[in-house]
Amino acid sequence: MKAPQDVILTPVITEKSAGVIDEGKYTFKVAPNANKTEIKNAVEKLFGVKVTGVNIANYDGKVKRQRYTLGRTASFKKAVVTIDTEGKDVTYLGKGGKTVKASGKYKTSIDEFGFGQ
pTM score, whole prediction:
0.78
pLDDT at position 84? 87
pLDDT at position 27? 96
What is the average per-residue pLDDT within 40-65? 94
Which of these, 15, 37, 35, lies nearest to 27 by C-alpha position? 15
Distance between CA atoms of residues 24 and 52, nearest Å: 10
What is the average per-residue pLDDT within 89-103? 69
Domain boundaries, the chain: 4-105
Domain 4-105: homologous superfamily in CATH? RRM (RNA recognition motif) domain (3.30.70.330)
pLDDT of 103 above 70: no
Of 42-46, 71-75, 86-90, minimum mean pLDDT range: 86-90
